[in-house]
Chain A
Amino acid sequence: MATRTYLEAISEALREEMRLDERVFVMGEDVGEFGGAFKVTDGLIEEFGPGRVRDTPIAEAGIVGTAVGAAIAGLRPVCEMQFADFVACGFDQLVNVAGKMHYRLGLAVPLTVRLPTGGGFSGGPFHSQSPEAWFMHAPGIKVVAPSTPADAKGLLVAAIRDANPVVYLEHKNLYRRVKGEVAEEQFETPLRARVAREGRDLVVVAYGAMVHTALEATEDLEGASVEVLDLRSLVPLDEEAILASVEKTSRVLVLDEANATCAAGAQVAALIADRGFEYLDAPVRRVATPDVPIPFSPPLEQAVLPGVGRVREACLELLGY
């Protein structure tokens, strides 16, 4: 085991996978000599050369579309969107070409698209989004969102080895903020939820950076025993793990950094309404970003992104129901 930041764990997963499998290559804007806008691919070009660490034109449809071509030709492309927000420019290639190809033609597309996602640092409306729900609604695409360095590595390895398009959400606010123990050998994290903290009175269902918000908000909640369930994978969604936590705790807060409407958390809430109703002692509550673009100025941004205070308040309300 070694201590790694979330960002180091992502880099390590890439480097080791490229060493183990010559079909794996990375492509994206400024990922080569420059090492990527966040330095995730720093140093890769020295080891693997410009053929496997490919700087691309600023063309997201081109990045995703050519990666689909490379994938069906037998390679394992890992694309970086410089910011998750820009995947909107490659949306059609991902949703209409990659996502539907196996269903329509029986042709697998082993493609990973890395999305540096999320807000919290005044990135404004085009550098702060959490677009995971766009892809949850598009059949044929898997969606994963690690919250810890170990899962950052294991889920990226799993994504690269998957035979399907996988959208990998890496939260920018965790890159250097979160450290943890990571196994040095390569391993795959299963696309299933993880109990981040056991509890009996209430469960907070979250993923990505919101797992840390949930843990912090419920660390000392007037003696309550609060479970935090880290989804890790949104497609497939670990329905059994969610229902097991609901059955155990009978109170649920669903937490999203994404805009509230049709978010991952909305799907979780719908699942509980459908299959977990009998377990509940209180209504399912949600905390998410209101349906506004992510604003720039710190007080405005803090007013919309779910923070420790809002989560804590919602938990207390649920416990008192």
Chain B
Amino acid sequence: MLDLDGGAESLLNDEDRAGLLRHMLLMRAVEERGLSLYKQGRIPGSFYDGRGQEAISVGATWAMAAADPVCSPLIRDLGAHLVRGTSVADIFRHYMGRENPLSRGREGNVHFGDRRRGVVGMVSMLPDMMVVAVGLAMAFSMRGEARCALTFFGDGATSRGDWHEAMNWAGLGRLPVVLVFENNQLAYSTPTERQYAVDPAARAAAYGIEAVSVDGNDVDAVFAAAHDARRRALAGGGPTLIEALTMRMHGHGAHDDASYVPAEMVAEWARRDPIERYEAALEMRGIDAGAIRGEVAAAVAAAVTEALATPMADPREALQGVFCEGEPTGLLDGDAPWSGFLPALAPMV
């Protein structure tokens, strides 16, 4: 069980906690339903989920203000889209290749974003979008705006050159970017001991970047670290790398049985499930987790029904939209549900 009397205590009220739980449950429910739709052949292509990692994208995104873009949620980070307010029905439409405003059928699985909510979709080459997030932070810094960018990367991505370029660039410019290192211990089948000799969190110092490690299965801890990192970024203190240690509980994708992962390791991490722990902690505070579960299940069922009633994407979409005609359509603000952003509580930055 989590200890809720820690550092996050002063930042989160019970409404926030209920919201954090709701979004973690929503991520899990959407992905569980997605997996079954994939197995039924309703979702073409591939399907990826982030079971066991819900606390990371939900907790980190919860700490971001409306104008702080997320660039980008990765394949374990559906929770970031949900916190920003992207429609669950549209997400299912997108998964199933049906008409939808997110990708218009041109993209699949977790490869989507919602520019209207300041969420930039990922690409498969990791960690490319970390460099783009650093560019967003550079633009905020150039314009003197009190905003920061949030980015996610995994353990495998830290081996690529783009990781170094992003880290060096962010550290050099002391740019307002929150770098969430989602260490789920596996890059497809490759464990971290075959990925690198030096822990990426330890490497941060070499770039002049602050690093902090948290329990990635503790949503309050992830939130608190992201909140601190954002505050540092806005105060001109530069980027922060947050290592969130967790474990990928499913295969790389729905096609992968992950037989290469030791069963005892999965069993051990199952006992640390971020949702079950949080539910137990919230029940102790008198929050009705069961009711939240029920609401989430109903919302997902309704979204799937809506999505299934939507026609498949129009084949004419395939040939359109390669270029932007007319004025560029930029990033807008997303939802920022944390109580600290409510006008009445404005002093908390």
A residues near B (Cβ < 8 Å) are 25, 51-52, 56-57, 59, 61-62, 65-75, 92-93, 96-97, 100, 102-110, 139-140, 142, 163-164
Say yes or no for B341: interface residue by CB 8 A criterion. no
CB of B162 within 8 A of CB of A65, answer yes
Cα A257 to Cα B233 with chains together (Å):
48
Cβ contact of A106, chosen from B69, B133, B142, B329, cutoff 8 A: B329
B residues near A (Cβ < 8 Å) are 69, 71, 102-104, 106-107, 111-113, 115, 120-121, 123-125, 128-129, 131-140, 142, 149, 161-162, 165-166, 168-169, 172, 321-331
CB of A107 within 8 A of CB of B113, answer yes
* Minimum C-beta distance from B288 to chain A (A): 38
* Minimum C-beta distance from A57 to chain B (A): 6
Cβ contact of B133, chosen from A69, A75, A105, A164, cutoff 8 A: A69
* Minimum C-beta distance from A235 to chain B (A): 9
**Residues on the A chain within 8 Å of B135, using CB:** 65-71, 73
Closest chain B residue to A165, Cβ basis: B323
CB of B331 within 8 A of CB of A65, answer no
- How many contacts A-B (CB < 8 Å)? 143
**Residues on the A chain within 8 Å of B142, using CB:** 25, 51-52, 70, 75
A/B interface sample: 27 pairs, CB < 8 A: A51-B142, A59-B169, A61-B161, A62-B134, A65-B128, A65-B166, A66-B132, A66-B135, A67-B135, A68-B131, A69-B135, A69-B137, A71-B328, A72-B132, A72-B331, A74-B330, A75-B139, A92-B162, A97-B128, A97-B132, A102-B323, A102-B324, A103-B106, A104-B107, A108-B324, A108-B330, A110-B328
**Residues on the A chain within 8 Å of B104, using CB:** 106
Cα A56 to Cα B131 with chains together (Å):
13
Given contacts A97-B129, A102-B321, contact A70 B139 (CB under 8 A): yes
Cβ contact of A70, chosen from B115, B136, B327, cutoff 8 A: B136
**Residues on the A chain within 8 Å of B125, using CB:** 92, 96-97
Cβ contact of A164, chosen from B120, B149, B323, cutoff 8 A: B323
Given contacts A107-B113, A108-B328, A108-B329, contact A62 B136 (CB under 8 A): no
Most interface-central of B138, B142, B162, B322 (chain A CB within 10 A): B138
* Minimum C-beta distance from A140 to chain B (A): 5
Closest chain A residue to B328, Cβ basis: A108
Cα A100 to Cα B323 with chains together (Å):
9
CB of A65 within 8 A of CB of B131, answer yes
Given contacts A66-B138, A73-B135, A92-B125, contact A105 B103 (CB under 8 A): yes
